[in-house]
Amino acid sequence: MAYSLTPPGKAAAEHVSRVKDAEGAFLAYLYERGEPVEADELIGETRVEDEIGLRVLNRLIAKGFVKEV
Mean pLDDT of the chain: 93
pLDDT confidence of residue 1: 86
pTM: 0.90
How far is CA 35 from each of CA 4, 6, 15, 49, 51, rounded to the nearest angstrom?
6, 11, 19, 23, 23
Alpha-carbon distance of 67 to 64, in angstroms, equals 7
- Per-residue pLDDT, averaged over 25-39, amounts to 94
